[in-house]
Amino acid sequence: MICMRKSKEEVLRDANDILSYIEKQTLTEAEQKKIIHDSVYNFTHYVNEAILKHRKSVSNDFSVVEWKGEGAVFYDTKGDEYIDCLGGYGVFLLGHRHPNVVNAVKSQIDRYALHSQELVDPLRGYLSKLVAAITPGDLQHTYLVNCGTEANEMALKLARLATGKKWFISMENGFHGKTLGSLSASGKAMFRTPYMPLVPGFQHVAFGDAEAVEKAIHHLIGTGETVAGVIVEPMQGEGGVNLAPEGYFQRLREICDKYECLLIVDEVQTGMGRTGKLFGMDHYGVVPDIMTLGKAFGGGVMPIAAMVAKDELWDKMEENPFLLGSSTFGGNPLCCAASIAAIKTILEEDIPGQAEAKGEYILDRLKKIQSEHPEVLKDVRGLGLLIGMEFTTNELGYTMAKYLFNEKILVSGTINNATVIRLEPPAVISYEQLDVVLDAIERNIALLANEMNEVTVK
């Protein structure tokens, strides 16, 4: 299909129709069907049809079009309710549209929405002060951007800028985003290969093997290279919810200190309370030199991310505050208002404590299910409300996701490990909702086990 430019009248008609849907409290049955039809058509012709096919691998049909969210659930255009156990890959830690965050954004938009760029914008300073107050150790200066991969780009750039060194050690199956620098640090060939050559200066080693990190640094220095930093996640989310062995991060801290390179920790998915502590590194008592934040940092309402670093790394930025990068919308007032409200809510409602308790509740039940059906469910693991269910085959995992979606429960796989289905619900999810989810998991894993037995008998 060749798309021709439309007339002004046609564009205005379409825009008016779309805005009328947005502004309505309820949709008629005809409007519901129209939006479903339009969504499929628009994704096919104007976005990417492959996204529809990917969604179909979970939902079996295209009739579920997300339209509204509240707490731990979302609703489609027909008003059907779904329990959200994916949580926007970690975005909805506070649930959908937490009133504290929504109210802060509404109050700010009544004043002004975006900053002029040239004047001092106070919310950026206020938010940066709060970030310094809640992050581990002596992390102090914050650089605000729009998303996690941007935050990791800034971390890599700052490490080279502050140290004058070049190489990075990163982890196999690690995930730091898909812009070129972040992708260079990520550790999955499927995403890297199409864009080769990537940014030079990255060497990957096995996650959890601190001695491999030291060996890589030693060899690089021995051949005349310099190492700017080690970049690592507190636990690998997209890698399959992989936890590090005891003492790993303490050893990384020692290695980075020994070779005078920086420890960069990507807390985009784990930060703000997701793992049962305010930050993933709080489990290990280790202070990084640079930390990145994203996803839940915007309270599930606005897109915002951050890089926060120690004061001694900021000298070059003091010489030229525009040297690191330029982000037109980074740290804008609306996003800062959302993040400030998110921090307040996370502390007031003890979101880390809720994540810890509910995560233990889920894991206890899943481990029992796994012990009864090891032929289906190979392993369960996680911290807080970032939990992975590892199935014995990819097909079993995909089938499980479909079965759960048929019961109006949303889960999803991990990007770098197709056998692992993640549970990453909002911390505000109720125990009653968790019981619905866990009962469905138990019932459907038993069903999968029976289906496997029937095939074996035949």
Confidence of residue 320 (pLDDT cuts 50, 70, 90): confident
Is the predicted pLDDT of residue 393 greater than 80, yes or no? yes
Mean pLDDT of 110-137: 93
pLDDT tens-place string over residues 21-54: 999 988 999 999 899 889 888 888 888 888 777 6
pLDDT on residue 62:
62
Q: Which of 360, 301, 344, 290 is nearest to 143 (CA)?
A: 290
User: What is the enclosing helix (H) or strand (E) of 242?
Assistant: strand 242-243
Judged against a pLDDT cut of 60, whether residue 84 lies above it is answered with yes
Torsion of CA 280, 285, 290, 292, to 10 degrees: 10
Segment (H or E) for 262: strand 262-266
Model pLDDT, residue 325 = 76
Q: What is the mean pLDDT of residues 285-298?
A: 98
Nearest-CA neighbor of 302 among 336, 348, 343?
336
pLDDT in tens, 162-202: 999 999 999 999 999 999 999 999 998 889 999 999 999 99
